[in-house]
Structure 1
Amino acid sequence: MPDFNLIHSLSISDQVIASVAFNNTGDWIALACSGLGQLLVWEWQSETYVLKQQGHFNNMNCLCYSPDGQYIVTGGDDGKVKVWNTSSGFCFVTFNEHMGGITGVAFTQNGQVVLSSSLDGTIRAFDLNRYRNFRTFTSPRPVQFSCITVDHSGEVVCAGGRDTFEIFVWSMQTGRLLEVLSGHEGPISCLSFSMTKSLLASASWDKSVKLWDVFENKGAKETIQLTTDVLSVTFRPDGEELAISTLNAQISFWNPTTAVQKGSIEGRHDLGYSRKDSDKVTAKTLAAGKAFTTVCYSADGRCILAAGQSKNVCIYSVADQILMKKFEISHNMSFDSMEEYLDKKKMTEWGSLALVDQGEGESDGKNISLPGVKKGDMSSRHWKPEVRVTSIQFSPTGRAWAATSTEGLLIYSIDQNLVFDPFDLEIEITPSNVKKTLTREDYSTALMLSFRLNESKLIQEVVESIPISSVEVICENLPDTYVDKLLDFLARQIESTAHIEFYMTWINRLLMHHGPKLKQRSQKIMAILRSLQKGLTRKHEDIGKICDHNKYSMDYLLALSKAKRKFLSVDTQSESDGEHESLDSEDENFMSELMKT
């Protein structure tokens, strides 16, 4: 400016750039492409990327949490597998080795390997340390894989076929096909491994769920017959219950050991009523064809999440079999199936504008797509995607759940610090009494009273007021009732606190004294242990980066000091001898630059 001279020309995408913005200082330019879901921040002076993010080009089909809840892996119709950080919301690695749409993703128990199944007939394993595809599993003849699961040890990988109605079992170590499980008479819709037993549950469109013992018997151990097609199946975290979602919008609960039904939930009305622009019947009539396509247990197994061909995600209580809460994933009216009643402005004397075939030279109406086409007519200029949830999963830490939908990847989290949930409360237990007890240096009693009041700020004040010398005695004599609560509090605090060594001391002493008892009831407190692992892993990574940065800076300063000392000694020696010999020109330039630095 003001002569409008071209400084730099940047080609960032083959799609239309939808939005451009400068930051306040004018150093960074943000560029957005709506077609690819792409966001770039470019520093034009140094010609480098500050930020580069891109979502899935097509719909997301599946997701899976890492065992510590720190990462989420997603797969889409574009054949890409993306890994996201749950705290920052950024995608930090993308694998694009697949040639077809992704139908299922899974993490191994150590959290180092991501597995994905695809319609291209391959199962691929990706290493999260080196970011590479280190193993590819294939079947004897080409099969479109519809789902994937991995056992608790990470040694066995299973995938179901969409066109052959078989389940394929591979060894993770060797990559060899171990077994082909046959018995279903329809496409395999879902697979689930028990976390505690060697049981594999397979759901199929042939109205049955089969339980297999992959490690011992070749045939199906049990077969559960249902009245309609089975869309989803999942084990409770402790492996003692099985949830099955069917085409009639019912969720039934079964005992996997005895194959006896324990209860059921009718969820058709909870899905909600919605009508597309091109539908010829009412929303209530359309509800008869909707169902839950994905279900998932909460981390403690008390609740179950269900979602499907609707904008609603339902959370049910398993014990009471009633709806606890319903979430609307979107309020975007540009999606189809958002309204129960059609807008009168879209109605004409011939019916809805969406049903009026667009002729030449007409501006109203639309091109009517072919019968059975679900993803829209790509020749049409305007296409409204239908709102739906394709996959849902609860975080292993028990503090969040995620869903892949038409809107994108959504993460819902609960902040327990703001919830007042007292425990064993009595009339004399008040914040003032807790602080008086703390003033008398009766630390153990003050800690237990603060947990009974269960107010996060008060618990933090009490814990941080306890001297480090008293931690050992308090942890050793703490009743079992308060051990889980204290461990839960420490797991939440370690993520945000600056007193890392202090809280690490608490965690260390608590686990050392109560380790055997905690191991006995590990299934009940699994969510707390996962949350603790997540916080410690994140702190380890953050501190590791700082330490590496300091180490490299000190190495640089030491090398600089040695070079400067050498240069000064050479210079002093030449002056004392009266000689006018100089260093080589290259060495002299290098030394002068170091001196300036």
Structure 2
Amino acid sequence: MRNLLAQVGASLGFLVFLMLITRQIIFPEPPKLPLSQTIEAQSNIIAMTFTNDGLQLISASGNTPVKLWNWTTKRNTTIFDDRSSNALSISVSRDGAYVATGHGNFQESKNLQETDIKIWDRKTGQLLKTLKGHTAPVRAVAFSPDGSRIVSGGQDKLIKVWDVNTGKLLQNIPAHTDHITSISFSNNGKFFASASDDKTIKLWDSNSLKLLNILEGHRGQVLSVAFSSNDRVLVSGSGEDRFDQNIQENSVKVWDLKTGTVQHTLTGNAGWVWSVGVSHNNKYVASAGYDGTVRVWNLISGELVGIGTEHSKQVYTVKFSPDDQLLVSGSDDGRLRLWKIQP
């Protein structure tokens, strides 16, 4: 009897083992991104950008000071101490001289709105100019590659073009039918893209400011756009339909800019894709997810490279390090996490 029970037990054990192996083959566990380092930022990270020389990372953290991080030591110095404003977006001029921050919050209440753009001296931390003109939170700011202009987008559905030296408004463009969420310049400076809650991405000529193309295909609000370094591809991240929460797209799309068509639709995020980034070598695309994850895909094949799950709250922003060895993510949990990227 004991021998029979032992045989049955062994058979059941083998069956369970076989089922586990079969499940792993049919439903394999997604690869994990190796975590290299965690930096305590002590405040939520809403947006961030590298200086063009790659020596410093600048992060915006709501109504706490904007911080500059020495990328060699990974230590920070507070440079823009303006606790009266809530920074939603950030950009640094290509020569590293100036930093622009767009201000506001995500609430719809008009009593809580901030609508300014601020230009700072990066080295001294001095506030140089405050640009007023938007009537709703400024979700996007971007320096033109030559540093002469700032293009901003707000929840007032407008794109505004500003002269950096004088602070004067040069152009006011009624660009979208819903909130503008992201603006990104091509690396050659010839055009820029704007993303909106109206589910579209629009491409504009940087000089004439004429509309060149409208990229349509997202079923949810488009929250972020980024160009590849060779300007052949645009990557976008989406969320839900703002007026029908049953439509949850939460995807990343890779667009061929020559044809205006979608090369890949990358899925898996269980929440909005707040930010996307493309590695400088054009091999990888990354996403920051409201589900608390960081994801990396192969830009060419669309294959998932890895998922980072160590953040405890939503991830708002991702940036590849200048040498593409690391991916940096900023989260509402008050931490910067550095993930190893395979060459």
Tell me which interval the TM-score lies in, with the shorter structure as reference length: 0.7 to 0.9
Relative contact order higher in (CA < 8 Å, ≥ 6 apart) = 2
- Give yes or no for the alignment of 1:112 onto 2:38: no
Q: Distance in 1 between matches of 2:307 and 2:263?
A: 24
Aligned alpha-carbon RMSD (Å): 2.1
Q: How many residues align?
A: 285
Where does residue 137 of structure 2 map in the other structure?
144
Q: After the TM superposition, which residues 67-466 of structure 1 pair with which residues of structure 2 at under 5 Å, given as runs?
A: 67-97=52-82, 99-119=84-104, 120-139=114-133, 142-162=135-155, 164-217=156-209, 219-226=210-217, 227-247=219-239, 248-265=249-266, 267-268=267-268, 271=269, 287=270, 290-330=271-311, 387-412=313-338, 414=340
Aligned partner of residue 300 in structure 1, secondary structure = coil
Letter in 1 for 2:139: S
Q: Distance in 1 between matches of 2:198 and 2:41?
A: 35
Contact 1:151 1:195 in 2 (8 A): no
Q: Distance in 2 between matches of 1:149 and 1:74?
A: 15
Q: Distance in 1 between matches of 2:287 and 2:143?
A: 22
Letter in 2 for 1:75: A
Contact 1:151 1:194 in 2 (8 A): no
Structure showing greater Rg: 1
Letter in 1 for 2:336: L
1:537-583 residue CA offsets vs partner (Å, 9 max, x unmatched): xxxxxxxxxxxxxxxxxxxxxxxxxxxxxxxxxxxxxxxxxxxxxxx
Q: Which structure has greater helix proportion?
A: 1
Q: Distance in 1 between matches of 2:205 and 2:292?
A: 37
Structure 1: runs of 5+ lacking an equivalent:
1-53, 272-286, 336-386, 420-597
1:256 Cα deviation from its structure 2 partner: 2.5
Contact 1:303 1:315 in 2 (8 A): yes
Q: Distance in 2 between matches of 1:75 and 1:323?
A: 29
1:224 Cα deviation from its structure 2 partner: 1.3
Q: Distance in 1 between matches of 2:160 and 2:293?
A: 34
Contact 1:207 1:230 in 2 (8 A): yes
Q: TM-score, normalised by structure 1?
A: 0.45
Contact 2:316 2:331 in 1 (8 A): yes
Q: TM-score, normalised by structure 2?
A: 0.77
Letter in 2 for 1:223: I
Where does residue 438 of structure 1 map in the other structure?
none
Q: Distance in 2 between matches of 1:415 and 1:185?
A: 38
1:98 Cα deviation from its structure 2 partner: 5.8
Q: Distance in 2 between matches of 1:181 and 1:65?
A: 28
Contact 1:112 1:129 in 2 (8 A): yes
Letter in 1 for 2:292: K
1:218-240 residue CA offsets vs partner (Å, 9 max, x unmatched): x4211112232212111111111
1:401 Cα deviation from its structure 2 partner: 2.2
How many percent of aligned residue pairs carry the same amino acid?
21
Q: Distance in 1 between matches of 2:253 and 2:191?
A: 18
Contact 2:195 2:222 in 1 (8 A): yes
Q: Which structure has greater strand proportion?
A: 2
1:214 Cα deviation from its structure 2 partner: 2.9
Contact 2:140 2:180 in 1 (8 A): yes
Q: Distance in 2 between matches of 1:154 and 1:98?
A: 26
1:112 Cα deviation from its structure 2 partner: 2.2
Letter in 1 for 2:151: C
Q: Distance in 1 between matches of 2:159 and 2:256?
A: 22
1:129 Cα deviation from its structure 2 partner: 2.7
Where does residue 32 of structure 2 map in the other structure?
none
Where does residue 15 of structure 2 map in the other structure?
none
Aligned partner of residue 174 in structure 1, secondary structure = coil
1:99 Cα deviation from its structure 2 partner: 2.5
Contact 1:147 1:159 in 2 (8 A): yes
Where do 4+ consecutive residues of structure 1 move more than 4 Å? 413-416
1:173-194 residue CA offsets vs partner (Å, 9 max, x unmatched): 2211111121300001111110
Q: CA 1:96 to 1:259, structure 2 compared with 1: closer, same or farther past 3 Å?
A: same
Q: CA 1:395 to 1:326, structure 2 compared with 1: closer, same or farther past 3 Å?
A: same
Q: Distance in 1 between matches of 2:41 and 2:279?
A: 27
